[in-house]
Structures are given as C-alpha cells and as structure tokens.
Amino acid sequence: MPSLLRTRHGRVPAARVSNRAPFLAFVVALGAATVSPSALRAQVTRDSSRTDSTRTLEGVLVQALRAGDDAPVTRSTISRATITRRNYAQDVPLLLQGAVPSLIGYTETGAPWGYSYLRLRGMDQTRLNLSIDGIPLNDPEDQVFYFANFVDLLSGVQSVDVQRGAGTTGAGTAAFAGSVNFETRPIAAMPRAAAAEVQAGSFNSQRLMLEGSTGLTPRGFAAYARLSGVRTDGFRYNAGVLSGSGLLSAGWFGERQSVKLLALGGLLRDTLAYLAVPVEELRVDRRINPIGPDEQDRFGQRLLGLTYTREALSGARFATTLYRMSASGSYDVRIDPDPVTGLWNFHLDHTWYGLTSAVTHDVGAWRLNAGVNANTYARDHYAWVDGTRGTPGAEALYFNTGHKQDAAAFGKVAYRTGDVTLFGDVQGRVARFRYEPTEGSGVPEESVTWAFLNPRVGLTWQASAPLSVRASLGRTTREPARSDMFGGADDLDATQYAAIGDFRNVQPEQVTNLEVGAKYKGTRGALDVNVFAMEFRNEIAPIGVLTPLGSALRRNVGESYRRGVELDGHVRVTPRLTVGGNAAWLHARIASFTDETGAQPVTYRDVPPLLSPAWLSAQRVEWAATDWLDLGFEGRYQGQSFLRNDGNRSTVLPDFYVADATARVRLPRVELTVRGANLGNSQRFASGYAVEGVPYYYVLPPRSVFVTARVGR
C-alpha cells in the first residue's frame, strides 16, 4: 500500500459527501412546560432549598473528577460566559487556543470545521484524558477522540476544565499530558427558554442551531435540547464539510435524588484533507489538497448516559452513570488510477459499554472523593476494493477486531488545617487489549495486560485572602495505543507481525510531574503563575524501523523531559474594559534515541521533540463599549518548532502571529455577532510533518469573517 494509506490507519473514520449535497435542515419541537412562567417563579420562591439541592446533585460526578477549587492542580476553567463570548461553533481546539496556556489547535481543512486537533505542552491529544459529565470520550483502542464528530459541541456545554500535567484522576485513559473535562448545561438551573442561531461566513459556510429548555417544573422534571447543522466548502480544495449534531439532556430531580439522561449524537460527511503539502507547491496555490474529490469520509457517533444521584442524610453524595458509546463509518483511499480496483474503502465500527461511579463527602476539615470506572469495548476493522463491493463472490480484503477492557478505582482526600490544604490522590488501573486477527492471515490471536498505580500528592497554602500558593507531585503511566503497537497498520499479516514482534515491544510510557504555582485573585484582576517539570521514562515516539508498509514504528525513548513556565491573567482597567492574556515558555528535550529508518542507524542526543514550540502567548482585550455593544480583540503568537525529532533546522514549522476580533450587538431578544479571524491574513502554517527531509504543511486559515444572528434567550 502507498504511504498515504498509512496516515489514515488507526484513525477513527468520519463522514462526508460532495459539496453539491444539500444543506441539512433541522426542526426541533419542545413540549411546553406544565406551568406558566409566573407560576414557576412562585414555585421556585417557595422551595428555593430544593432548587439549590438539585443544582448540587446534578454536578456530583464532575465535582468528584475535577476535585475542589483548592486542589493543587494547574488548571484553566472556561466558564459558560467565556464560552458564549468566544464561540461561533468552531471546533473545540480552536476555541480553547488562546484561552488556555500551552495549548495550540488547528484544522486540516483551513476552516473552523473538519478534523481538528490540539496539543498541550507540545503533546498530542491522544495523551489527554477527555470526558463529558464523567463519561470518558477517548477511544479505548487508539486513545483518540475527534471533535469533528460532534459539531457545535460547546453550545450545550456549561464549562470546560483543562488541567495541565498529571492533574487529578479522571475516568478512562490516562491524563498523561493533561485532561479536558466538559460539563453539560445544568438543566435543573436553566430557565424556560428557546433560541435559534443562524450563521453565514467565509468558505461558503452556513450554520443553523436550535435550542430550548423547559425549566424545572413543579413535578421536578427538566429538559434541554440542542440541534445544529453546519456546511462549509473549506478553504482547501475538496475539503468541504457537511455535519449535524444533537444533544438532549432530560431528568427528574427530587429533594435528595435525581435521574438524568444525556444523549449526544453526530453525523459528519467531509472530503478528506489529511495530507499536508510541500512549501514549494503552497507558494503557487495555498489551497492545494492532494486528495481527490472521490475520496470521501462518512461517519456517525452516538453517546448515551444515564445517571442516578443521591444525597444521604449525612451529606455524602453518590452518583452512578451507565453509558454506551458507539461509532461507525468508512473512508475512501485511492490506491491507483484504475476506475474499478483503484479506490479502496476502509471501515471502522465500535461499541463500548461502561460504568462510572463516585462518592463525594465533606466531614469537618476532610473532603473525600472516591470512585470507580469500568468499560468493555470492541472495534471491527475491515476494508473493500470499492469497485468490487457488492458484486457476487466479492470478499473483504481483511476483517479483524480489537477488544479492550479497562477497570480503575481512585480515591482523593483533602484535609484543611489552618491556611493549608493537604491533598492526596491515588488511582489503580488495569487495562487489557486483545487482537482477533483476520482469518487465514497467519497471525495468532494475542492479548496484553497492563496494571498501573498512579499516585499524586500536593498542598495549597492560602497565604492571604487574594493569594494562594500550590505545589504537587504526581506520576502517571499510559499504555501504548493499538497504532503504537501496530506501526500504524490497520491489519496485520504474518510478515508484518514478524517485523513488529511481540505487542509488548512498545512499553508503557511514564511521566513524573512537578507543578509549583501561585494565584492572585483580587477585585480588579487575577494572575496565575506556574512552573512545571515533566520527566518522562520510555516516552513513545515515531523513531522505529520501517514496516513492510513503509511506516515508521513508534518506539520508546529512554529519557526525555518538558519543563517550563506558564502565566495567565487579566486586569479590569475600567468597569467596561478588561485586558488579559497568557504566555508559556517550554524547554523540551529527548536525551537520546537511535533512528533506524534510514540505510544506516543514526543516534541523536539532546534534541527537541517535534511540534513543541518554545514560546506561546495570547493577548486579549474586551470592551463593553455601550450597554448594547461589546468589542473584543485577541492576538496569538506561536514560536518556531520542529517537524521531526532530530532538531534539523531545515524541517521546521515557522513562527506566526494571528489576530482575531469580535463585535457583538445585543438588542431585546436579538443578538448579532461578527467574528473576524486572521485579520492580518498571515501566510504561515498551522502544523505539518516532514518526509525524507522535505517539510509538508497545513495552512493557517486565511482572513475570514463569520456573522451570527441569535433570536430568543
């Protein structure tokens, strides 16, 4: 198979159709509340204690996973107000960049939608623990999650908690570089309301969003629903996206117990754009996409979660969530020009079931959070020659299945003595992967089991009312993903299996993380300063020998580290003017490794890891010009980084600076927002890779404008 096929293996597919496809239309109907608004207000006034209780119950799992505000972790919590101010339905990484220190994001399409990615402290998102309402989102097999599958996700999110470094224990895959935890809207606290958003902008982009909430009825029921549809041609040729998603949250809330359902689904159809382009070609035309219009992507993903929460008379709160995640779809890859046999179609279908349970309890100076998470997962991998599929006697090229089971338990304890809070966190986790090979492939069925103990300790000192100081030390171990063990291959034959060797050849990677920080929070502003050191053992990197498919195996490097300083803050200059920003300096090195991909092995020493810029910064200005007009500006700088792990300055990602601006007009029941991105029309690049010493780049989106009208409340 040609090399372009390797870039797609191990990647959960997505969905896509031709740009000529009609734009999705969505209609939502929400049942009217059983009482009038005035009666509802009277009910809430009579029973405010019940309302407060339901708000507390609704967030028990999120509180247990995030730990308290005094936990000594390095975090940025993006509130609903900040999400609303920054959001124009762009994919999650694009909203978070600039708002969180040490975080960068980009898309393949050169537009705000399509496949998008983020890196935290230079590490890719497979090293992040991702969850929503305590439900893990990372695919267990390859530890990935594609935000494009759930377009406009943040419209239904109340807050995003981004922890950098080992942080505190979450559910699912290891928080190796950090974690991103989404909390959906608290339906028991939402008023009865409905709204619609219509958006249009550059790249022939359109979006429709409808949402509504019932409010909390006298019988204790509440619901919220959101439907979104997005269509764009993308900036690059053949990079269109047609996507829709929906979120339903509904529940019953009693005085001391509640039941809540979360349903989230998405459909994506896009033209593929996962290949970068050499700079010489981009100088001729920045819109070049080497993938043709017949290579399409079709994907759907669904999540169901049912949570039961109860508060005991002692004050302890218990929550248990049963969840089901499933995804299915296919993508095309043109192997050669032959109209019958040249186009291959690859399928990935998976389902997993799980349970997350937690208890949180405050007793005097003690606070306890404890919980368990367990899930079982299976994913089928198979492929067809597209021109022969469905013909008599046609068979799939291969059919294999990956199975994974994961079970973990954690305990977190905080003890306050005077102005000091002592914190401890320990997680025990066991994971097992089993490979069921294609029949007749000559590869035996094989399994591998890992067991980890991940401890963390720390303290927070409240030095004064506005000033707190924190320090923490933690260790996290992460097992290799399937793509790490398989060298990027989607199916193994006997020759490939012999070249890869035992699945244990790629060992788990481990990080010991020290974080020391101070936070000042005054009446007119705040400043958070953090110093960190992440010391790695057996970090997994693409440095191994070539497989028969021509892709480099990912191997362990002995020692490496990432150390740096992060700042995040803002100051309210006047009641209407706020200035803020963040900055990060990173010093990252791989002590040594041997690259065996060439004719002769080459050993590199003290080299920087790829795509880990030394400098990142963001600056923002928010001005409430009048009671009805808000203006905002944000600039982002990303320093130079390397495209390979060898420190070769001929294959670098150049530094760049981009500036965005927003104007929002608020009228009674109508809001109009204009968002301008990359106003200076920077011609630099968002990300890339190197092939045989030649740099390949994904372009930054050019200057673009998006206009959104919101009606309702």
The pLDDT, as a whole number, for residue 8 is: 37
| Closest by Cα among 614, 498, 490, 593 to 542 | 593
Mean pLDDT over residues 111-139, rounded?
A: 93
Tell me the per-residue pLDDT of 23-78, one tens digit each, with 9 for 90 and over: 333 223 323 333 333 433 444 343 444 445 555 678 788 887 787 788 999 999 99
Tell me the per-residue pLDDT of 304-350, one tens digit each, with 9 for 90 and over: 999 999 999 888 999 999 999 999 999 998 888 887 788 999 999 99
**C-beta of residue 193 within 8 angstroms of C-beta of residue 713:** yes
Q: At what angle do helices 37-46 and 48-58 cross, to 10 degrees?
A: 90
pLDDT band for 172, please (50, 70, 90 cuts): confident
Q: What is the mean pLDDT of the chain?
A: 88
Q: Is pLDDT above 50 for 621?
A: yes
In the numeric block, the tokens 């300083």 are attached to: 565
Q: Is pLDDT above 60 for 105?
A: yes
Percent of the chain beyond pLDDT 90?
75
The pLDDT, as a whole number, for residue 59 is: 77
Tell me the per-residue pLDDT of 631-675, one tens digit each, with 9 for 90 and over: 999 999 999 999 999 899 999 999 999 999 999 999 998 999 999
The pLDDT, as a whole number, for residue 205 is: 96
The distance between the two most distant Cα atoms of the chain, rounded to a whole number of Å, is 79
Quick check: helix, strand or coil at residue 282?
helix
Tell me the per-residue pLDDT of 289-304, one tens digit each, with 9 for 90 and over: 999 999 999 999 999 9
Contacts of 285 (CB under 8 A, 6+ apart): none
Mean pLDDT over residues 493-498, rounded?
A: 89
- The C-alpha atoms of residue 73 and residue 478 are separated, in whole angstroms, by 19
The pLDDT, as a whole number, for residue 28 is: 32
Q: Is pLDDT above 90 for 14?
A: no
Q: How far is CA 614 from the centre of its chain?
A: 22
DSSP 23: P
Structure tokens at 410: 């954690």
CA atoms within 13 A on the CB side of 653: 31
Which residues on neighbouring strands pair with residue 348, listed in sequence order?
A: 329, 381
Integer CA distances (angstroms), 481 to 103, 173, 404, 485, 530, in order:
22, 10, 11, 7, 30
Terminal-to-terminal C-alpha distance of the chain: 53
Q: Count Cβ atoms within 10 A of the Cβ of residue 314 and give its class: 0-12 exposed, 13-18 middle, 19 or more buried.
A: exposed
Q: Give the domain ranges of the chain.
A: 3-388+423-712
- The C-alpha atoms of residue 258 and residue 672 are separated, in whole angstroms, by 37
Q: Which residue has the higher pLDDT, 505 or 389?
A: 505
Strand order in the sheet with 685-691: 277-278, 694-699, 685-691
Q: Is pLDDT above 50 for 13?
A: no
- The C-alpha atoms of residue 596 and residue 581 are separated, in whole angstroms, by 43
What is the DSSP code string of 62-94? HHHHH--TTS--EEEEE-HHHHHHH-SS--HHH
Structure tokens at 592: 């040594």
Q: Is pLDDT above 50 for 624?
A: yes
| Closest by Cα among 85, 202, 225, 159 to 671 | 85
Q: What is the pTM of this model?
A: 0.90
CATH code, 3-388+423-712: 2.40.170.20
- The C-alpha atoms of residue 79 and residue 185 are separated, in whole angstroms, by 11
